[in-house]
Amino acid sequence: MTIHRVEVVVDCEAVENGAPGSRAVNMYASQDIVLSNSQGSFELSIRVDNDDIIRWSAFPKVVQPEGSNENYSVIIDAEHDWNNNTLLKDWTAYQGNMPVYVYEQDAIPMRQDQRVNIERQTAYQPFVQANATLPGRPNPGVSQTEAYTFYVKVYKGTELIKEINWDPFVTVVQP
């Protein structure tokens, strides 16, 4: 069992200007699981082994738009399997509570060859997880593909700008 991570990058400014998910999303995963030259597309297609775990995290392309005091935030708030949960099971949303390194203070001037002080704090990076599971007792080499839909809420400050969705693919293979 391997844990695979997929990063979903949302162009919040494009969403704010009316773009659909298919024109505002880029997805990235480790190149060794990407199929059909889909790296960076909204329809990322990945190939994972039976019993692997997939974790998706969403990020805004730009955190704070130029000339604004408001930050963009994105979060996956729902999913839909197109094949009645045949291949992707046990969908779960996690807060992603984890330690991260940050600067001790804000707006520290950086000088040539001089280190700034950092410290470790707890932060959150939410993610959604599913288990890749082939039905029954598949023979080695057997594979199936499933489309799924993500629904992502895009916020600017505390205001919900829009909820977007799109349909990538996962191929599950019995090793």
171: Cβ contacts below 8 Å, ≥ 6 apart: 35, 45, 46, 47, 48, 143, 144, 145, 146
CA-wise closest residue to 90 among 120, 132, 33, 62:
132
Confidence of residue 83 (pLDDT cuts 50, 70, 90): confident
Residue range 112-167, pLDDT digits in tens: 999 999 999 999 999 999 999 888 888 898 889 988 999 999 999 999 999 999 98
CA distance 126 to 167: 20
- What per-residue string of b and e applies to 101-112 under the rule 16 or more CB within 10 Å gives b? eeeeeeeeeeee
Residue range 29-78, pLDDT digits in tens: 999 999 999 999 999 999 999 999 999 999 999 999 888 999 999 999 99
Phi and psi of 12, rounded to 5°? -65, -35
pTM of the model: 0.88
Of the CATH numbers 2.10.260, 2.60.40, 2.40.50, 3.30.160, which one belongs to the domain with range 3-174? 2.60.40
Domain ranges of the chain: 3-174
135: Cβ contacts below 8 Å, ≥ 6 apart: 86, 87
